[in-house]
Amino acid sequence: MFFMKSIITISFFALSVGAMAQGNITNDMLRKFASESKLTGSERAISNALAAGPVSGLALNQANQTEQNTYFSLSVPSKGITDQKSSGRCWLFTGLNVLRAELINKKRLNGMEFSQNYLFFYDQLEKANLFLQAIIDTRDKSMDDQTVLWLFQNPLSDGGTFTGVADLVSKYGLVPVGVMPDNYTTKNTAQFTTFLKRKLREDALQLRSQAKSSEKALQQLKEKQLAEIYKMLVMGFGEPVKEFTWAPKDVDGRYCADPQKYTPQSFYKEMFTNDLQNDFIMLMNDPTRPYWKTYEIQYDRHVYDGHNWLYLNLPMDEIKECAIASIKDSTMMYFSCDVAKFLDRNRGIADLANFNYEDIFGVKFGMNKAQRIQSHDSGSSHAMTLKAVDLDEKGKPVKWKVENSWGASSGHNGHIIMTDEWFDEYMFRLVVNKKYASEKILKAAQQKPTLLPCWDPMFAGEE
């Protein structure tokens, strides 16, 4: 019997080695690769240049560096460019920029900016609670369950979506930037976030070790853990403002009215009439899934008792019609895209003709938008405020402009101009007021959404 088992084991091992050998890189293959990869003189020059500088510098299409037409037939007025610095809070800056543009126009203010720090404090606290509660909710699953693995890999981030803005503002209100300004930690989030995530993972293991405890006991333990997170946030961001005094100012910095006392909630309610959670519709262009269907993504939210990112998937032409209608009515929109693709950051131009990477490497990059999404090569990575469109004589868009949050010196005076062709390939999300959407869109948005898993490619929060 032992002899038979040994033969079987050896035979299985031989089969395994043979199967592995079929997929190995062999010496013959290496020799073939080397013989077929002899560089020409021009390729050696490119190789030398790559050793000294970035690929984008070599791939720059000089013929596309001519002066850009910066005229836009339709544009929403705005005042001032914000700067998220070295943080992933573009979603928060963008959402608040949409709100401040509305307030500036409605109140005829000289300028206005809301405190990102104030809402970011509660964003991080709420995300910590979302993670810890999800750990409690999945405590009966094994550690190698895909959802549990995903949770431990993603306990918290500084990225997000408009849904987070809507839930946070509705729950915690708003304060002017001068009441609770940014500091070094909020402008440079990476290191501080690392320690938050480390603590949360440790807390999650503690919760799972108590999985047999009662729900009440687990909630008490979670509350104790959140108190420590709260203290860390106070140390990093400062104590959240509970009450403040504010009045609008003129161009000389003088009050235009008597200062009034506010809480963050009373300030928001006095300044805005929009219902952020019900007046807007989230639109997506994801060609990997059927259009005219609604989807939501598990755990893609900021607040445990809030809302997942829920969107209607639409063809690009339908999304563009909503965007144009909003711009015509002088209303900015929350917009997100895969910003780094074919972006000339110095000029602030996003154009498919900006770079020619194929000629640099002598290979073809032929994936379409759907294939880039499926292979995780492309996705929504950055949020900005859509504010302008240039239409041709037939009313078709030629180019678009967004207000960015990388400071006034970045790009085109703090903006990015996108060709319509680039827009088609790398634009993903748009949030518009429902009054700019057609009846067909509003009706389609009422469908019961398909729930997608948290590891879906479309989860990625804007940073």
CA angle 43–49–55, rounded 5-degree value = 95
Query: Are 196 and 229 spatial neighbours (Cβ–Cβ below 8 Å)?
Result: yes
Which among 90, 117, 302, 313 is annotated as catalytic?
Answer: 90
pLDDT at 447: 97
pLDDT at 68: 85
Least confident of 12-26, 67-81, 317-331, 335-349: 12-26
pLDDT at 67: 86
Q: Which residues contact 280 (CB under 8 A, 6 or more apart)?
A: 162, 166, 274, 431, 432, 433, 434
Look up residue 5 and give its two tokens.
């088992």
What average pLDDT score do residues 165-186 get? 97
Look up residue 375 and give its two tokens.
């292979």
Could you give the CA distance from residue 56 to residue 439 in angstroms, rounded to a whole number?
Answer: 44
Between these two residues, 209 and 63, which has the higher pLDDT value?
Answer: 209
Could you give the CA distance from residue 311 to residue 161 in angstroms, rounded to a whole number?
Answer: 12
pLDDT at 8: 53
Q: What's the mean per-residue pLDDT of the chain? A: 93
Dihedral sign for Cα 36, 41, 43, 49, please.
positive
Angle between helices 90-107 and 116-137 (to 10 degrees): 130
Q: Which residues contact 327 (CB under 8 A, 6 or more apart)?
A: 74, 75, 76, 333, 386, 387, 388, 389
State the pLDDT confidence band at 17, using cuts at 50, 70 and 90.
low
- Catalytic residue check, 90: yes
Could you give the CA distance from residue 224 to residue 214 in angstroms, rounded to a whole number?
Answer: 16
Q: Is the pLDDT of residue 461 over 90?
A: no
- Catalytic residue check, 302: no
What average pLDDT score do residues 242-255 get? 82
What average pLDDT score do residues 381-398 get? 97
pLDDT digits (tens, 9 = 90+) for 391-424: 999 999 999 999 999 999 999 999 999 999 999 9
Q: Is the pLDDT of residue 12 over 60?
A: no
pLDDT digits (tens, 9 = 90+) for 28-57: 999 999 999 999 999 999 999 999 999 999
Q: Which amino acid is at 463?
A: E
Least confident of 70-74, 253-257, 308-312, 397-401: 253-257
pLDDT at 427: 97
Query: Are 351 and 342 spatial neighbours (Cβ–Cβ below 8 Å)?
Result: yes
Query: Are 415 and 259 spatial neighbours (Cβ–Cβ below 8 Å)?
Result: no
CATH topology of domain 79-459: Cathepsin B; Chain A (3.90.70)
Q: Is the pLDDT of residue 317 over 70?
A: yes
State the pLDDT confidence band at 111, using cuts at 50, 70 and 90.
confident
Between these two residues, 112 and 176, which has the higher pLDDT value?
Answer: 176
Strand 349-350 relative to strand 415-419, pairing: parallel
Residue with tokens 């609670």: 129
What average pLDDT score do residues 422-451 get? 98
pLDDT at 308: 94
Residue with tokens 């997608």: 452
Question: 250: helix, coil or strand?
Answer: coil
Could you give the CA distance from residue 80 to residue 36 in angstroms, rounded to a whole number?
Answer: 55
What average pLDDT score do residues 158-185 get? 96
Which among 129, 302, 313, 382 is annotated as catalytic?
Answer: 382
Residues making up the chain, counted from first to last: 463
Query: Are 404 and 414 spatial neighbours (Cβ–Cβ below 8 Å)?
Result: yes
Which among 97, 354, 404, 433 is annotated as catalytic?
Answer: 404
Query: Are 268 and 169 spatial neighbours (Cβ–Cβ below 8 Å)?
Result: yes
CA atoms within 13 A on the CB side of 9: 6
